[in-house]
């Protein structure tokens, strides 16, 4: 194992509302350190961030009032890697289909539809193939879940269910409409944390190269 693989990046978990401890457990299982993010100051020193599920309108209101939303936008636009699940995916989207405006972090070239699976279907579970993670499929727990209505060229859809995109990634973001933190399957969290490690190793290399060139 390389030094990069063994490193323990610090991943913040947004703790404004929603399921926090399950993400902390999943991140610890794949070798990351975690801390809770409630204020803009808590973003300092992070290598990555998880935005959990919950209620995106509540999250937008609370984080908007405190200034956290602006701070998040700045850090994420600046390249901080983010994993967003369910409401977290909604927060990272550039737009919402068929809904009124609500405060978002934005920045990912996707349009999502909230509560997309119909009022009757509030929650369901399904096997979701995620080819980049190999076999077996992930067990997707969908709770009043969104789907990805459309995605731009910077975005790779990595999972579909029922003909709809339910997970995607771009250079710095991974999003899922379902809740991987609620199962014991750590593959999505591992992919995220491995990506953070690779990015940190690359940045370290750049710094070494710059120092070496002087």
Q: Which residues are catalytic?
A: 86, 179, 181
Close Cβ partners of 82 (under 8 Å, ≥ 6 residues apart)? 48, 49, 50, 51, 76, 88, 92, 172, 173, 174
104 belongs to the binding site for ligand GLN (CB under 6 A): no
Q: Which of 51, 76, 83, 86 binds ligand GLN (CB under 6 A)?
A: 86
What Cα–Cα distance (Å) separates residue 167 from each residue in 49, 63, 152?
Answer: 17, 24, 14
114 belongs to the binding site for ligand GLN (CB under 6 A): yes
Close Cβ partners of 39 (under 8 Å, ≥ 6 residues apart)? 66, 68
Q: Which of 20, 22, 27, 56 binds ligand GLN (CB under 6 A)?
A: 56
> Mind giving me the DSSP string for 26-48?
HHHHTT-EEEEE-SGGGGTT-SE
Q: Among 35-43, 48-56, 76-84, 165-173, which window interacts with ligand GLN (CB under 6 A)?
A: 48-56
**Rounded Cα distance, 58 and 71, in Å:** 17
149 belongs to the binding site for ligand GLN (CB under 6 A): no
Q: Which of 126, 143, 191, 201 binds ligand GLN (CB under 6 A)?
A: 143
**How would you label 170-194 residue by residue, b for 16+ Cβ within 10 Å and e otherwise?**
bebbbbbbbbbbbbebbbbbbbbbe
Q: Among 82-90, 154-162, 180-188, 204-212, which window interacts with ligand GLN (CB under 6 A)?
A: 82-90
CB of 123 to ligand GLN, least distance (A): 9
102 belongs to the binding site for ligand GLN (CB under 6 A): no
**Rounded Cα distance, 199 and 214, in Å:** 23
What radius of gyration do the chain's Cα atoms show? 17
CB of 94 to ligand GLN, least distance (A): 16
182 belongs to the binding site for ligand GLN (CB under 6 A): no
CB of 173 to ligand GLN, least distance (A): 16
CB of 145 to ligand GLN, least distance (A): 6
Place of tokens 């009032």: 65
Q: Which of 9, 48, 54, 180 binds ligand GLN (CB under 6 A)?
A: 54
Q: Which of 53, 81, 107, 195 binds ligand GLN (CB under 6 A)?
A: 53
Residues that bind ligand GLN (CB under 6 A): 53-56, 86-87, 90, 114-115, 143-144
């Amino acid at each position: 194992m390389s030094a990069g693989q063994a490193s323990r990046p610090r991943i913040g978990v947004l703790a404004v509302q929603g399921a926090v401890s399950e993400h902390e457990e999943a991140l610890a299982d794949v070798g990351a350190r975690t801390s809770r993010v409630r204020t803009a100051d808590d973003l300092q020193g992070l290598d990555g961030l998880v935005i959990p599920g919950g209620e995106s309108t509540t999250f937008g209101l609370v984080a908007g009032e405190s200034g956290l939303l602006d701070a998040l936008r700045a850090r994420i636009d600046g390249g901080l890697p983010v994993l967003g699940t369910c409401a977290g995916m909604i927060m990272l989207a550039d737009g919402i289909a068929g809904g009124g405006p609500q405060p978002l972090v934005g920045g990912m070239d996707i349009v999502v539809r909230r509560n997309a699976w119909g009022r009757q279907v509030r929650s369901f579970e399904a096997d979701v193939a995620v080819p980049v993670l190999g076999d077996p499929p992930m067990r997707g727990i969908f709770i009043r879940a969104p789907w990805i209505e459309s995605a731009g060229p910077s975005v790779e859809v990595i999972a579909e269910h029922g003909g709809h995109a339910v997970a995607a990634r771009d250079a710095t973001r991974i999003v899922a409409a379902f809740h991987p933190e609620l199962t014991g399957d750590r593959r999505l969290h591992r992919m995220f944390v491995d990506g953070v490690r690779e990015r940190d190793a690359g940045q370290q290399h750049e710094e070494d190269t710059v120092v070496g060139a002087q």
